[in-house]
Amino acid sequence: MDPKTATRQAWARGDYHRFAKATVWEVGPVIVEACGIAPGQRVLDVAAGSGNVAIRAAEAGASVIAADLTPESFEAGRREAQARGVELEWVEADAESLPFEDGAFDVVTSCFGAMFAPDHGRVAQELTRVCRPGGTVGLASFTPEGLLPAFFEVFTPYMPPSPPAALPPVLWGDESHVRDLFGDRVSSLLLERRVYVERVADPAAYCALCKETFGPIVTVYEGLEDAPDAVAALDRSFLDFATRSNTGRPGGPAEYPYEYLLAVARTAA
């Protein structure tokens, strides 16, 4: 199976919309505000999932396309958009090869999505290519120093190796890497580290949420169906991570603070 197909299938597993609503959903409005999205603008949300940013951009009055390699998330996004009283277009698309014309959008966004495409340089080129000169590109990406690397370290021994040329996703959360990626394609670049917090009842509930809803983790466990000892070992490692990473107060909900880099660029004229 080629890497693109494997990636699509992994993210299609579980229930991404439920996962997003329980974890990253609060970051969507942050990007909309940081990019100054307003009525009448043309907005593209890349690796949109079920519309975390895209739906909020539509609520702000923009004309929006939500694009993702995994269209299995679109139906939940359509239901969410309908419940919120907005309409937008949903398009299957690869962040490394966007099917849109040069300069087609006023604003291009991605919230913890495009960072997972393996060719960072190609993604940066595509994000700026489809954004009009003087337009805005806004991204939220997990940082190398935050909690995400430790989260994925739990599962790495049970996952297939990344393609040889693939760069770590969290490099999108490194300021110098982002500056190098955009280079002279942008005339300004604002970078700010922020934190959002994921809250669940307790560490066991955090593990259960991810195992039930987060596609890449669902895929890992499905691959171990005939290896009960490996499943048990992974369960122990995951619960250990969830327990030691919990910053919540004793007796209260478990809290997981995830640091991310908010990057807002103005494309060169």
Q: Which residue has the tokens 């999108």?
A: 172
Domain boundaries defined on the chain: 3-152+159-198+257-267
pLDDT at 84: 98
pLDDT at 243: 98
3-state secondary structure of 253: coil
List phi, psi (to 5°) of 110: -160, 130
Pairing between strand 131-142 and 254-267?
Answer: antiparallel
Of 76, 58, 80, 60, nearest to 68 by C-alpha is 76
pLDDT at 161: 84
Retrieve residue 39's tokens: 């009525």
Residue type, 91: V
Length of the chain: 269
pLDDT at 182: 98
pLDDT at 160: 85
Residues 38, 123: Cα–Cα separation, whole Å? 25
In which residue ranges of the chain is pLDDT below 70? none
Residue 149: exposure state from Cβ atoms within 10 A (0-12, 13-18, ≥19) = middle
3-state secondary structure of 136: strand
Residue type, 168: P
CATH architecture assigned to 3-152+159-198+257-267 = 3-Layer(aba) Sandwich (3.40)
C-alpha count within 13 angstroms, C-beta hemisphere, residue 50: 25
